[in-house]
Structure 1
Amino acid sequence: MLWRRHRRTSPALSPKEIRTTWQLASVLLDYPTPELVCRVPALRDALADVAPDARARLTAYLDRLEWENLARLQSQYVDTFDVTRRCALYLTYYTCGDTRKRGVELVRFKQVYRDAGADFAHEELPDHLGVVLEFGAMVDIDAAWKLLCDHRVGIELLYRGLRQRDSAWLPVIEAFRTTLPTLDGTDEEALARLIAEGPPSEQVGLEGYALDPRLNPRPEPIDLGATIPVGVTVS
């Protein structure tokens, strides 16, 4: 499998286990809605195709999704992912910040989707972690693996940010993280620099991809519980 060559090491998981874990993580990283809560039984059924470590973590979040007060969970989601930039779900934010380079990288993500035959048509930006995971689960595991590994350091910063907050979504990222290779020495150095310096801060030149409003608080709840429609042709 090509996806095993993008890093020197990779977990001993089958493609089916990886795809199912990515699909579930993609869905569970959506804004929690009543519709998502109703899907919990079907999501539990899908856990049969997930490796034990990831299964335990995803089960923990599904349990919480069922018993936690939904309004409280929605508020926590906004505070975690829309307000706290260290927990942003947009992968290029960690490498590019709000700079001109980020616009170029976002176009690159869309081109990867097109090259795989899945023209991007979604309200989220193409570098949203949930979108990349859905693309990998449903369309092209190799291409998604490369994108995720290219942004492995940012994913690690997201994981550490959620761990520091003891976030409800930490188990979801932990489950997804079991499918990725561990950080190597170069990655650790890059992570240390990112923690110390933060993403680049130039705030011009993004044109249509300028400061993402999704990194700001939501004015009202938005239903993002549906499966991400990868592969719909852009009109």
Structure 2
Amino acid sequence: MKILTLLSRLIDYPNDTLYAHGDDVVDFIANDKLLSQADKSALMAFIEQRFNDSLLDWQSDYDGLFERGRSLSLLIYEHLHGESRDRGQAMVNLLAQYRAAGLDIGVRELPDYIPLFLEFASTQGEQNAKGWLEDIAPILALLAVRLEKRNCNYSALFTTLVSLSGAQIDMQALREQVKDEKRDDTKKALDKVWEEEAVTFGGDAINGGCPTNAAKPSESQRRDQDVPIQFIDAANAPVSTGELRS
């Protein structure tokens, strides 16, 4: 499902390589046979605005959206497990799924980073890809309505992913759910998180020890590379003995 590769790039931190190929992105979406006309229109509007902005403005907007607070985190298990121990094991299991498919992570990102997950799903054939998307559709839908609430056109990317998954999600119910949510990306909200963050010494990150930020992307993770995320062949990938999907 090649459209997932493109959506992965658009959700990832915008870089020079992507920005230089705006016309190719338009052509790809226009000719894709899996997208509905409504999703194509929404994606085209997103592309028109983002590629007509300067790259620096786009990057600044991206930072403000996805790198502050947790409500718009692009880490799947942050929404499911928060900072609990279950999150560490879930990432270990997901990484094992990647390797069972003969793939390994070729950049410094956590396994549950959504663009990386989409890159993986795009290699698994259309039906398997839809299954993987369906597994995380509730999270994608939640991100879509939170972005929509902020009048941000990034919501189009996540709405499109929900459509491609085929999952039946009550978007209106989610809109009601987030209607009264308070923003967690303000200076006051961020300061409160740091004040309340417990520090535990004597263990590793997965088991609750210090450092507490080991499961979060660093500020430099997406800024220190001008190449898109990618998988590499796993030289010693274990042989899968079961289903790919968990």
5+ unaligned residues in a row in structure 1: which ranges? 1-18
User: Secondary structure of 1:89's match?
Assistant: coil
- Asked if 1:231 corresponds to 2:222, the answer is no
Of 115, 136, 150 in structure 2, the residue corresponding to residue 165 of structure 1 is 150
Between the aligned partners of 1:110 and 1:220, the Cα distance in structure 2 is 18
- Asked if 1:206 corresponds to 2:191, the answer is no
Between the aligned partners of 1:109 and 1:44, the Cα distance in structure 2 is 32
1:75-86 alignment to 2 at 5 Å?
Answer: 75-86=60-71
Where has structure 1 moved over 6 Å in runs of 4 or more? 201-204
Between the aligned partners of 1:24 and 1:132, the Cα distance in structure 2 is 13
Structure exhibiting the larger radius of gyration computed from Cα positions:
2
1:109-188 alignment to 2 at 5 Å?
Answer: 109-180=94-165, 181-183=167-169
Superposed CA RMSD: 3.4
Between the aligned partners of 2:125 and 2:100, the Cα distance in structure 1 is 10
> Structure 1 140/132 Cα, relative in aligned 2: closer, same or farther at 3 Å?
farther
AA matched with 1:227: P
Question: Normalization by structure 1: what TM-score?
Answer: 0.74
1:23-102 alignment to 2 at 5 Å?
Answer: 23-47=5-29, 48-50=31-33, 51=35, 52-102=37-87
AA matched with 1:226: V
AA matched with 1:169: Y
Between the aligned partners of 2:212 and 2:234, the Cα distance in structure 1 is 24
Instruction: State the shift of 1:219 in Å.
Output: 6.1
User: Secondary structure of 2:231's match?
Assistant: coil
AA matched with 2:117: V
User: Secondary structure of 2:102's match?
Assistant: coil
Q: Corresponding residue for 1:21? A: 3
Higher helix share: 1
AA matched with 1:111: A
Q: Corresponding residue for 2:242? A: none
User: Secondary structure of 1:123's match?
Assistant: coil
Q: Corresponding residue for 1:106? A: 91
Residues 30 and 225 of structure 1 are in contact (CA less than 8 Å); yes or no, is this contact kept in structure 2? no
Identical counterparts, % of pairs: 22
Question: Normalization by structure 2: what TM-score?
Answer: 0.71
5+ unaligned residues in a row in structure 2: which ranges? 182-196, 237-246
Between the aligned partners of 1:178 and 1:209, the Cα distance in structure 2 is 38
Instruction: State the shift of 1:30 in Å.
Output: 1.5
> 1:121-146 deviations in whole A, cap 9, x for unaligned?
32111111111111111345555444
